[in-house]
Structure 1
């Protein structure tokens, strides 16, 4: 074979090596394939009320008038009553930037930083003066997570159960595309006025014990694309020309150096 033919084959081989990088597309690929693994759940934490949360708060008791007073004017049947509710309760309470809600009769109540159960206990302490044996229910109305980047269906999702893992969030978004970096998933979280960013390696089973495995309300999950996807997404012909020229120049310099060294 002529030197020109050998050089062409060498160029093709070099380009092929650069373009073919082995990737691991398997989640938790280090799990034992035979025995499996078991983990004590330590990363699950109950969500805490934050500023800008929307809370649904309902109060029921044996007194129908009290129920009406503390439920936006909508009559809720007393305990044991056969009365039906004539209208749904649509009232929600916005947690302001200082962590307070404005509740009927009582006024300002600070709930920021409380879990739901802690908030229920606090509300019970305040309502006992007006309602005998109140039963209080609190729910997040805007518990949502956002999944963007290299997924099939990027979107924001409202979570009615108020509990979701990063895997479940990716499932809602249709899972990652083949170009998504499973070893470098970014979770952005705001808590107590501080924004944090943490990266998860979903090829590694240790993620199951991460504090970011269970998502909190308003978390953002960003799946970063591989560089090959970024290059494909760039439609600027100048970019391709620059990359092609640089690669060609590098190969020519390598061949010249090799010929000079072997001659």
Structure 2
């Protein structure tokens, strides 16, 4: 499938913006007619993540952390509850609050800790922080170095935490039906698992059998030597 065909199929999929949760980190920018006034808000997110006395050069993800009450605190504007909102809804809410202090504010909100994990039969398993929120399972697999030769392409699992409950979905990257799946576009903290195919399972079993044979042979030799000595 070429890139043009993929984009055509992706355009037919309904994409929903991620929902903000506690402990998320948001990148927020407020632009007004007078950029100097908005700079107070925009810079405060950077100041929250500067290093500490022991390691002044350390620098974490810059942004506004959503506290346990689902709120962020913006300079001048104050606390704004954003948990449970999409990034679009949070943008509109912050724009409304900012309009009381700034003239014609333009607000952008995005998740800075949009992370997915890719495990199993891929070349570079691990967790990946995404540069944007519209991320497909193909994007994540690409970041993980694609499947190994032993990866099962027809039964890739997506594990998703939805309102405190685990959801499980499966997709086949060999079928165009993947573009119809609600798991094609990923949500933050999704886990992708690529299970091994029969060739890998057979290989592991063969290795285990070979190891068992060698171990039993070694034990038998030791027993025979001990018996002859005694």
| TM-score, reference length from structure 1 | 0.63
Please state how far the C-alpha of 1:130 moved relative to its aligned partner.
Answer: 1.3
The residue number in structure 2 matching 1:224 is 195
The residue number in structure 2 matching 1:142 is 113
| Structure 2 contact 28–107 (Cα < 8 Å) conserved | yes
The residue number in structure 2 matching 1:45 is 16
The residue number in structure 2 matching 1:161 is 132
Residues 1:176 and 2:147 aligned together? yes
Gaps of 5+ in 1: 1-26, 28-36, 75-89, 242-263
Residues 1:105 and 2:80 aligned together? no
Once the two structures are superposed, residues 49-70 of structure 1 have per-residue CA deviations (whole angstroms, 9 ceiling, x without a partner) of: 2222210112121235522332
Q: Aligned residue pairs: how many?
A: 191
Please state how far the C-alpha of 1:238 moved relative to its aligned partner.
Answer: 8.0
The residue number in structure 2 matching 1:54 is 25
Q: Which has the larger radius of gyration?
A: 1
The residue number in structure 2 matching 1:251 is none
| Structure 1 contact 51–96 (Cα < 8 Å) conserved | yes
Once the two structures are superposed, residues 26-61 of structure 1 have per-residue CA deviations (whole angstroms, 9 ceiling, x without a partner) of: x9xxxxxxxxx9687134222222222210112121
- Secondary structure in 2 matching 1:181: coil
Please state how far the C-alpha of 1:105 moved relative to its aligned partner.
Answer: 3.1
| Structure 1 contact 50–192 (Cα < 8 Å) conserved | no
CA distance in 1: counterparts of 2:139 and 2:62, whole angstroms = 29
The residue number in structure 2 matching 1:214 is 185
CA distance in 1: counterparts of 2:33 and 2:152, whole angstroms = 56
CA distance in 1: counterparts of 2:211 and 2:13, whole angstroms = 48
Task: Call closer, same or farther: CA 1:239–1:107 in 2, change over 3 Å.
Answer: farther
Give the aligned CA root-mean-square deviation in angstroms. 2.8
CA distance in 2: counterparts of 1:237 and 1:211, whole angstroms = 41
- Secondary structure in 2 matching 1:182: coil
Residue among 159, 167, 175 paired with 1:196 = 167
| TM-score, reference length from structure 2 | 0.71
Please state how far the C-alpha of 1:91 moved relative to its aligned partner.
Answer: 4.4
Once the two structures are superposed, residues 7-42 of structure 1 have per-residue CA deviations (whole angstroms, 9 ceiling, x without a partner) of: xxxxxxxxxxxxxxxxxxxx9xxxxxxxxx968713
CA distance in 2: counterparts of 1:206 and 1:179, whole angstroms = 22
CA distance in 1: counterparts of 2:143 and 2:39, whole angstroms = 38
